[in-house]
Amino acid sequence: MKKITKSQGRSSRYRTLREEAFEANKQLPQLGLVLFTFGNVSAADRKEGVFAIKPSGVPYEELTPARMVVVDFEGKVVEGKLRPSSDTKTHAVLYKHWQEIGGISHTHSTYATAWSQALKDIPVYGTTHADHTTVDIPCTLPMSDAMISGDYEFQTGFQIMECLRERNLRYTDLEMILVGSHAPFTWGSTSSKAVYNSAVLESIARMAFLTEAINPGAVRIKESLLRKHFDRKHGPDAYYGQ
């Protein structure tokens, strides 16, 4: 009897978190961002020092809140019967080092992945991009052989952080990145915002591809317009939204 009570207690402790992660993961196929079991979203509970993430290799239509796996910021499973996403340690590293994020999303969405494979940053060509960040979306260098043969998924987290450091960017300056030869990761204050960013990135990536195809000499949006669009949504005097 005690054990059941304890188990129920443990279960309810993270119920809300698992439900949040479940809802966020369900959005990926609805937004056309994933095929089969590809991709994964996590939602963090900062007070508890844990996050809930998609189980590895499970189709989206078979997900339930109970199947989400709860993991701490070292990447250790805290609760859940299934094995967590193979990318779990990448999420753990980012949660551990980036204090203000509450959600992470990883997809192999078509256009963002193509830019990752092309090893090219996505230039900021217009206001759709500027509405979300003022900088090009960086594409990391391929990982070193030593990092790959080490703890690969942990290293992917460090690879992402190192790319931002090299470019003198903070994780609050932009909420999306391309991992070279791999695919995008996005983040945000909540898991829902991270998924939103995955969809925005896919849209930006597609438009940038078309912009260059239409005009191979396309130039970046001018600085003043870039700043104006970002600030009207995110600046101190923002007037977008309610």
Which residues sit at the interface with a copy of itself, rule CB under 8 A?
A: 35-38, 55-58, 82-83, 86, 108, 110-111, 113-120, 125-128, 142-143, 145, 148-149, 152, 181-183, 196, 199-200, 203, 206-215, 218-219, 221-222, 224-225, 228, 232-233, 239-242
The answer to whether residue 152 is catalytic is no
Using a CB cutoff of 8 Å and minimum separation of 24, what contacts does 219-228 make? 220/123, 220/124, 220/125, 221/124, 221/125, 221/126, 221/127, 221/129, 221/130, 225/127, 225/130, 226/124, 226/130, 226/134, 227/134
Q: Which is nearer to a copy of itself, 98 or 226 (CB)?
A: 226
Dig out the tokens for 104 from the structure: 């992470």
The residue among 21 and 98 lying less far from a copy of itself, judged by its C-beta, is 21
Q: Is the dihedral of CA 145, 147, 152, 153 positive or negative?
A: negative
Measured from the CB of residue 37, what is the shortest distance to a copy of itself in angstroms? Answer: 8
**Which one, 58 or 164, has the nearer CB to a copy of itself?**
58
Q: Find the catalytic residue in 131, 151, 152, 231.
A: 131
**What is the closest distance, in whole angstroms, from the C-beta atom of residue 152 to a copy of itself in the complex?**
6
Q: Any residues with CB less than 8 A from the CB of 39 and at least 6 apart, and which? A: 28, 33, 54, 105, 106, 107, 108
The question of whether 237 is a catalytic residue gets the answer no
CB of 99 vs a copy of itself, minimal distance in Å = 26
Task: Give the shortest CB-23-to-a copy of itself separation in angstroms.
Answer: 15
The beta strand positions in the chain, using DSSP E, are 40-45, 50-53, 69-72, 77-79, 103-106, 176-178, 184-188
With respect to a copy of itself, which residue has the nearer C-beta, 6 or 35? 35
Residues annotated as catalytic are: 131, 240
